[in-house]
Amino acid sequence: MSDGALIALTAEAAAARIADGSLPAAEYAEAYRARAAADRAAADDGLNCFTWVADSVGDHRAGPLAGVPVAVKDLFCTAGVPSQAGSRLLEGYLPPYTATAVRRLEDAGATSHAKTNQDEFAMGSSTENSAFGPSRNPWDRERVPGGSSGGSAAAVAAGLAPWALGTDTGGSIRQPAALCGIVGLKPTYGSVSRYGMIAFASSLDQAGPLTRNVRDAALMLRHMVGRDECDATSLDYPLEIRLPAREDLAGVRIGVPAELTADGIEAGVLARFSEALALAEGLGATIEQVTLPTAPHGLAAYYVLAPAECSSNLARFDGVRYGHRVEGADLTEMYTRTRHDGFGREVRRRVMLGTYALSSGYYDAFYDRAQRVRTLIAEDFARVFASVDIVATPTTPTVAFRLGEKTADPLAMYLSDYCTVPMSLAGIPAISIPAGLVDGLPAGLQLAAPAFKENELLDAARALELALAFDGSAAYV
């Protein structure tokens, strides 16, 4: 089979062919490994998706995903493989264990063929905060792929991986999926173990798939969910994740919140969103206007809560136990110099913001108030889901912006997550699927559902995906 024919296969189709013997697992895995290695070797001419690529495909275990390679975000610990969280502070770090989400995929037969680039410690919306240089969007190499899982999204969109594992704290799977024209799913908080994910904000971080279609996202998620004794916040998933087959939306009630679908959304993105809603109506869905009155405050609450948790989680990086160290005249100077030189500017900014928000005299004014806003957002969603099945919004306010366009304006960068943050604060599942092109660049459609309603969410996303008929092959390299 030609390289092009191999790359055209969905992960589901490849797994089926490997299982029936019509596709050699080693041939399939090597095709992707070689493509990833070539992109990494291309340096300035490549997409800079990867921080590490395997020297060979190695062996795989028997299982339903046998022989299908998966690209893994640099934030996941993988035993004996560099796991650096996009940071110089952890450059070259080789963990002694593998994250549960990765291990479960490997137990199902998948092989980890590469680690993907990301914003440092998952803090960013463009992958420009990586200590290893920015990744590029395969639709336009002068534009960002989104973040923080930008390397994962760009790799899948470019045909350098059949699917990839990312993490989503405030939109870090869904936003890059939208900007790169692929599918990105943030599962219900607690449905996938966080053990072995290098923590950013522990009450928000969640692992999830980035894939070329919705069925692949469901297949990958099926082998990731479930209780893990190593993560006290993980939960038994109540049902098996089904592979969605629905082609209509008869009886599905879709709520459209004005707060996330009006001001600040680019005209082209809004046009693709409106067209997707019209298609949903044509498939039998009922479209209703709903209100999420607290959602506009989500971004402000997020940028108190996430930095506060980041300040706590990143305290462990002190130059003593592991990672980068800069010597000093005494212990305090060593701590200070290590963290100053090891952390990038955005990480230092968020650590300082979070430390301030948690400090004596400011805790009630900032952190406690942000937690109250988070509760109100969750209550808003609960009220809305009493009358609709799905909430729909654009995934991002804009299409992919140019490299360097927003690096000097943190607030403009943070606004990239305006539509995705409320779902993260509420802990509910949300998926981004391609809604079409705006001036040759992908725009995303976001669908959200109540907690543990991934099956219903995936069904709706699959039906709309078929109707939208987006062709992402133009991004293949």
Catalytic residues: 73, 148, 172
Q: What are phi and psi of 393, to 5 degrees?
A: -145, 165
CA–CA distance, 427 with 186 (Å, rounded to integer) = 9
Q: Which amino acid appears at position 139 of this protein? A: W
Given a contact cutoff of 8 angstroms between Cβ atoms, the answer to whether 136 and 117 are in contact is no
Looking at the DSSP bridge assignments, the partners of residue 210 are 164, 184
Q: What are phi and psi of 421, to 5 degrees?
A: -60, -40
